Amino acid sequence: MSPVGPADARETGRAVRAHERVWSGPICAVDDEELVLAEGQEPVRRQTVVHHDAVSIVALREGEDSSRDDGAVEILMVRQYRHPVRAMLWEVPAGLLDVPGEAPLDAARRELAEETDYVAARWDVLVDFYASPGFTTEGSRVFLARCLHPLPVDQRIRREAEEAEFVPTWFLLDDVVHAVAGGRLHNPSTVVGVLAAARARAHSWEGLRPADAPWLRSPRSL
């Protein structure tokens, strides 16, 4: 079946007249550029936060694996302090693509294990998005992880800093969908991933993309 509806596409025809990296740190940098948006127009200046891309994981269990008597779908979440917004946020497991050469799926597997002590046997892509394309290169891929099993205790990684507070917790997926709609959850990967998972479940998990599906990542991401 051919794709229907709109589709984003790479645009390389805008002329950059000047470029300067004005600041650089471990997870992002700031570029100042002068570019021409259209022939005959005066150049404009734009500042861009060049950021690592990221992966997130919607980890689900259902049926015999669910803790519910009716086998209802459950989602695995962690609660993390986010200093920029001064808030404790419930989130799906996630992390940056900051290991050179690491494939997104491998990063997702690593983050799931590190943050929740679980591994998954089945992986699909739920959705891709840019975090805030008006000013940053950061893109995010949300994976769907199923057929989960806990890691043996001797293979678990000791969590540090904010992650030391993680307590992996299972919630009913339907309850989390209601929390998103009710404005009680705010992490973008969680909001996008939960709604995409709910849609996929409503369609009997048909049409999911493979874990190595093409991804329109910014060529300028760190």
Residues with catalytic function: 163
Q: Coil, helix or strand for 129?
A: strand
Query: How many CB atoms are closer than 10 A to CB 203?
Result: 9
Contacts of residue 203, defined as CB under 8 A and 6 or more positions apart, other chains included, come to none
Place of tokens 């891709």: 128
Nearest to 143 by CA among 23, 56, 75: 56
d(CA 92, CA 61): 14
